[in-house]
């Protein structure tokens, strides 16, 4: 586990042995259909199935909406494999929250009632503002209720192309995220992303001043439903339950939105991800966090860099990196067991899951 500073240590201290609840928000943005932005699927046609398939994997240790499991075109499996292993080791309960996913999971899920699909942000009009407000308000109600049911909340996500929409929201909020967000690829396509963001902000035809004053408006122009939902969950649960934002650079967009709407809600929030994100030379999580929410980062290592399984080793080389709350669920697993569950235990369990679910 790697921790930056005293607030991170405090979070660990005060939540050691406590009971987490893991929540994975699955969502969709039309932005994922731009070629070259995401590897969250073996080919572009299946990308929209990935969030539902991730959810099914957590419930059933197999997918129902697709054959096999979500993977990159090279066959590197979804980080849901890490998440399900970490949750299992520490018997952590979880929910799936559907925020406008294109395919609904064949499993139970919480709905925030979003009926339409979020559009490609290059339209400059990703979502109806009333829909953004609705999912945000519903998520606040949920966050409040969920905060009574656990000692702390772990909020993950599965939304292909989510780093691009996050970059656009950060930019809309005055944070120059160019070249800073992470990617499921080893070779982060920053140029393409920056171009998409620039195009989106231009198409939105609205001044950055107006957007920084109204982050829900910014989401409606160039964001995605995941950001609105997780921001709502944080604000709803704030003051009642500590929160782990379980994700990479996407979560800095959430932190930025919360910080504008209700800065105090970030007081007991940390971001937790994998070392594949925190040590990524091609993105800058820590800079983004300083600009967006200034919350501590805790990296939890699932150990895949030293896996004997060829299909898992690419994580150590910066492929996939994070998703489905993988890093945060590892941290929660370690915390829940008061440190008894280690990186080696998680790696072993991920390898067992790999053999069981994917084969040899």
What residues between 308 and 347 interact with a copy of itself by CB under 8 A?
A: none
108 belongs to the binding site for a copy of itself (CB under 8 A):
yes
Are 95 and 174 in contact by the 8 Å Cβ rule? The answer is no
Burial level of 128, CB count in 10 A (0-12/13-18/19+)? middle
Tokens of 254: 């959430």
* Three-state DSSP state, 139: helix
129 belongs to the binding site for a copy of itself (CB under 8 A):
no
The least distance separating a copy of itself from the CB of residue 105, rounded to whole angstroms, comes to 8
Among residues 62, 145, 191, 338, which is the contact residue for a copy of itself, using CB under 8 A? 145
Residue number, 146 or 155, with CB nearest to a copy of itself: 146
Among residues 1, 7, 44, 95, which is the contact residue for a copy of itself, using CB under 8 A? 95
35 belongs to the binding site for a copy of itself (CB under 8 A):
no
Angle at 352 between CA 350 and CA 355, to 5 degrees: 110
64 belongs to the binding site for a copy of itself (CB under 8 A):
no
128 belongs to the binding site for a copy of itself (CB under 8 A):
no
Stretch that binds a copy of itself, among 2-10, 137-145, 242-250, 331-339 (CB under 8 A): 137-145
Among residues 104, 125, 133, 282, which is the contact residue for a copy of itself, using CB under 8 A? 104
The least distance separating a copy of itself from the CB of residue 57, rounded to whole angstroms, comes to 13
17 belongs to the binding site for a copy of itself (CB under 8 A):
no
9 belongs to the binding site for a copy of itself (CB under 8 A):
no
Beta sheet of 2-3, edge-to-edge order: 2-3, 297-299, 269-273, 243-246, 152-158, 20-27, 94-99
Stretch that binds a copy of itself, among 47-55, 148-156, 246-254, 268-276 (CB under 8 A): 148-156
84 belongs to the binding site for a copy of itself (CB under 8 A):
no
Strand 297-299 with 2-3, pairing: antiparallel
Stretch that binds a copy of itself, among 104-112, 159-167, 177-185, 300-308 (CB under 8 A): 104-112
Are 214 and 129 in contact by the 8 Å Cβ rule? The answer is no
**Cα separation values, 261 from 16, 53, 82, 84, 216, Å:** 30, 33, 32, 33, 9
Residue number, 110 or 129, with CB nearest to a copy of itself: 110
Task: Give the contacts of 320 (CB within 8 A, at least 6 positions apart).
Answer: 39, 72, 76, 78, 79, 184, 276, 314
The least distance separating a copy of itself from the CB of residue 93, rounded to whole angstroms, comes to 4
Stretch that binds a copy of itself, among 101-109, 118-126, 252-260, 308-316 (CB under 8 A): 101-109
16 belongs to the binding site for a copy of itself (CB under 8 A):
no
Round to whole Å and give the CA distance between 86 and 283. 25
The least distance separating a copy of itself from the CB of residue 154, rounded to whole angstroms, comes to 13
Q: What is the DSSP letter of 24?
A: E
Dihedral through CA 303, CA 307, CA 312, CA 315, nearest 10? Answer: 40
The least distance separating a copy of itself from the CB of residue 98, rounded to whole angstroms, comes to 8
Among residues 34, 55, 142, 330, which is the contact residue for a copy of itself, using CB under 8 A? 142
Stretch that binds a copy of itself, among 25-33, 142-150, 267-275, 317-325 (CB under 8 A): 142-150
Residue number, 56 or 157, with CB nearest to a copy of itself: 56
Strand 152-158 with 2-3, pairing: unpaired
Dihedral through CA 137, CA 142, CA 144, CA 147, nearest 10? Answer: -150
Dmax (CA) for the chain in angstroms is 54
Query: Which residues form the interface with a copy of itself (CB under 8 A)?
Result: 19, 21, 59, 91, 93-95, 98, 104, 106-113, 138-139, 141-142, 145-146, 148-150
């Amino acid at each position: 586990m790697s921790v930056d500073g005293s607030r991170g240590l405090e979070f660990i201290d005060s939540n050691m042995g406590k009971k987490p609840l893991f929540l994975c928000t699955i969502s969709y943005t039309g932005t994922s259909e731009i070629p070259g932005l995401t590897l969250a699927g073996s080919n572009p046609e299946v990308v929209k199935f990935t969030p539902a398939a991730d959810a099914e994997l957590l419930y059933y240790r197999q997918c129902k909406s697709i054959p096999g499991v979500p993977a990159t075109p090279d066959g590197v499996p979804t980080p849901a494999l890490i998440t399900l292993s970490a949750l299992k080791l520490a018997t952590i309960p979880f929910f799936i929250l559907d925020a406008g996913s294109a395919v609904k999971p064949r499993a139970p899920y919480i709905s925030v009632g979003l009926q339409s699909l979020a559009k490609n942000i290059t339209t400059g009009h990703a979502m109806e503002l009333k829909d953004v407000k609705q999912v945000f308000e519903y998520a606040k109600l949920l966050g409040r209720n969920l905060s009574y049911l656990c000692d702390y909340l772990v909020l993950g996500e599965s939304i292909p192309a989510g780093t691009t929409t996050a970059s656009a929201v950060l930019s809309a909020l005055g944070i120059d995220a160019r070249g800073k967000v992470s990617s499921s690829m080893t070779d982060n396509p920053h140029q393409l992303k920056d171009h998409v963001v620039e195009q989106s902000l231009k198409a939105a035809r609205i001044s950055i001043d107006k957007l920084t004053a109204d982050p829900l408006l910014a989401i409606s122009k160039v964001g995605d439903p995941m950001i609105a939902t997780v921001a709502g969950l944080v604000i709803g649960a704030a003051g009642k339950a500590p929160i782990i934002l379980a994700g990479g650079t996407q979560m800095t967009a959430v932190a930025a939105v919360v910080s504008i709407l209700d800065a105090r809600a970030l007081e007991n929030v940390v971001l937790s991800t994998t070392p594949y994100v925190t040590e990524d030379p091609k993105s800058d999580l820590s800079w983004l966090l300083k600009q967006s929410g200034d919350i501590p980062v805790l990296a939890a290592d699932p150990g895949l860099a030293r896996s004997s399984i060829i299909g898992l080793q690419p994580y150590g080389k910066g492929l996939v990196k994070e998703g489905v709350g993988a890093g945060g669920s590892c941290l929660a697993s370690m915390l829940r067991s008061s440190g008894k569950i280690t990186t080696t235990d998680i790696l072993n369990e991920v390898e067992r899951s790999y053999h069981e679910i994917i084969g040899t």
